[in-house]
Structure 1
Amino acid sequence: MPARPKSPAPLLEAEKAPADWQPLQPKTLVDLAIEAIIAGAAAGLVLPGDRIVEADLARKLGVSRVPVREALRLLESQGIVVNEPYKGIRLRPVTNQRVDDLIDARVALEASAMARAVSAGRNTGSHLAPLRATVRQMEAMAARGDPYGVATADTEFHRTLCRLGGNSVTLDLWETLARQFTIIFGLATFGKPMLDVVQEHRDLLAVFEGGDVALIGRTLDEHITVMNQAVDYEAIVAARRAARDKQ
């Protein structure tokens, strides 16, 4: 009599099937317009302080003005664009002081999230798989010389860290600033080699896995505060604008 097949190994927690089917969320034209604007800003196609003309942008994106108008309205509520009387809509200027303020908020939110993740044991094993995958994606984008791809992967890496913290309020607060982070991450790639950005994330991941909360805090501060303060964002924007104006 043939031997009975062995029972399959139990699924890891991260591999268990969902309790019910989750409906797919199709992207609307508004969503796509928002992504296009953020991508253009991170890649330097539109620079901080540049005017964004609704009709021109709609023509470039191949859509009507309605989704572009709604996208700009939503981005204004998130501080990505500003609407000034008699000046129209502009991509929010990026100053070194503004970046410093955002950095302070990031460090506070992410340090708290990482400490909570370590306390809950979510800094080892399968919990790290999304972070490792994101670093690989970041490396692939860096090899292609794609600033928006690097910026998007950078944003997802830090979003995942906040998610692992398990505090929905921390994650919600972080998400309100996420698109501003993506633009800044993209601009930063013009100020330092993209592969250096990748290595910083590898180092942070290794320290996070080690679980030393004090060392995690110091490494995070080095990654976010010190590294970003070494980048002159105002000079990057000015240089990109000067190069564009010569074309």
Structure 2
Amino acid sequence: MHGSLSLRPALALGASLADQAYQLIKDDLFSFRLLPGERFTETDLAARLGVSRTPVRLGLARLEREGFVLASPRSGWQARPFDFERFEALYDLRIVLELAAVERLCARERADETDLLMALRDIWHAPPQQRLLDGRRVAELDEAFHCALVEAAGNPEMAQVHRDVTEKIRIVRRLDFTKDFRIDATYEEHGAILGAVLARQADDAARLLRAHIGTSRAEVSKITLRMLHEARGG
């Protein structure tokens, strides 16, 4: 196992040991402390967490269902190898869903405004001095922005599929917020997209949304390649 893996026995009140094992392992996967393709055992993880193998096994089973780890009968577990083609396909699906949501929103009457869109306006139209600077928090708000756009469109099945896609690409998507200039750009781009939606300018909203996702997609691909190279000692 990669030497920098840092599963910590930080026990949270009210959370089961299996939930904590799940979250700690997932954090290390998302931070590339556990590298794509790397093999590991339940015994090693249990020792690091200071718990029995049972909660570790339950946490890993949940991560396997979500597609983040693979089970191997003879060699324990493996962090899912990084597959750029899979992420490209997921980004394509994300764009289709969000463009469809924006089209629906722009086709509505202005009186049919939603609390979700108003809440987004309060965040993304805030003046520069009120913007957040913490990359992790902005990454969470970024996800919430895009999920809220789809949810506001009013199709719960579409929203659920979009949430599933969001979860699958989170491992690379949040890397977009490790650069200060991308945090500033996200505020500007989200504000412009939301402004076009609220003005019912469907063509502008679609163009801005496509450009925003495309820029983020290119940036995270570059960062991911660099991080993998550095983590492997390249």
Tell me which interval the TM-score lies in, with the shorter structure as reference length. 0.7 to 0.9
Give the alignment partner of residue 214 of structure 1, picking from 200, 203, 212.
203
* Residue number in structure 1 paired with 2:96: 108
1:232 offset after TM fit, Å?
2.3
1:169 offset after TM fit, Å?
1.0
* Residue number in structure 2 paired with 1:21: none
1:121 offset after TM fit, Å?
4.8
Would you say 1:67 and 2:55 are equivalent positions? Answer: yes
Residue 43 of structure 1 aligns with an amino acid whose one-letter code is: S
Residue 229 of structure 2 aligns with an amino acid whose one-letter code is: A
* Residue number in structure 2 paired with 1:173: 161
1:27 offset after TM fit, Å?
5.2
* Residue number in structure 2 paired with 1:55: 43
Would you say 1:39 and 2:17 are equivalent positions? Answer: no
* Residue number in structure 1 paired with 2:68: 80
State the secondary structure of the residue aligned to 1:83.
Answer: strand
Q: Taking structure 1 as reference, are residues 189 and 199 closer, same or farther at Cα in structure 2, changes over 3 Å only? A: same
1:76 offset after TM fit, Å?
1.5
Segments of structure 1 that go 5 or more residues without pairing to the other structure are: 1-25
* Residue number in structure 2 paired with 1:239: 229
Q: Taking structure 1 as reference, are residues 104 and 42 closer, same or farther at Cα in structure 2, changes over 3 Å only? A: same
Give the alignment partner of residue 151 of structure 2, picking from 146, 163, 187.
163
1-side partners of 2:187 and 2:149: how far apart? 16
- Greater C-alpha radius of gyration: 1
Residue 231 of structure 2 aligns with an amino acid whose one-letter code is: R
2-side partners of 1:223 and 1:152: how far apart? 16
Give the alignment partner of residue 216 of structure 2, picking from 227, 243, 246.
227
Identity %: 27
Residue 131 of structure 1 aligns with an amino acid whose one-letter code is: L
1:99 offset after TM fit, Å?
2.1
What's the CA shift string for 1:128-152, capped at 9, x where partnerless? 243246657xx53xx23x44x3333
2-side partners of 1:233 and 1:174: how far apart? 24
* Residue number in structure 1 paired with 2:10: none
Answer yes or no: is the 8 Å Cα contact 2:175–2:224 preserved in 1: no
What's the CA shift string for 1:171-190, capped at 9, x where partnerless? 12122223222212123335
2-side partners of 1:125 and 1:167: how far apart? 14
State the secondary structure of the residue aligned to 1:217.
Answer: helix
Worse overlay, 57-66 or 71-80: 57-66
* Residue number in structure 2 paired with 1:96: 84
Worse overlay, 28-37 or 95-104: 28-37
Answer yes or no: is the 8 Å Cα contact 1:82–1:90 preserved in 2: yes
1:103 offset after TM fit, Å?
0.8
TM-score computed with the length of structure 2 as normaliser: 0.73
What's the CA shift string for 1:108-131, capped at 9, x where partnerless? 111112222333458846332432
Answer yes or no: is the 8 Å Cα contact 2:173–2:217 preserved in 1: no
Segments of structure 2 that go 5 or more residues without pairing to the other structure are: 1-13
2-side partners of 1:45 and 1:167: how far apart? 37
Q: Taking structure 1 as reference, are residues 55 and 106 closer, same or farther at Cα in structure 2, changes over 3 Å only? A: same
1-side partners of 2:46 and 2:115: how far apart? 43
Answer yes or no: is the 8 Å Cα contact 1:81–1:92 preserved in 2: yes
State the secondary structure of the residue aligned to 1:232.
Answer: helix
Answer yes or no: is the 8 Å Cα contact 2:194–2:205 preserved in 1: no
Residue 73 of structure 1 aligns with an amino acid whose one-letter code is: A
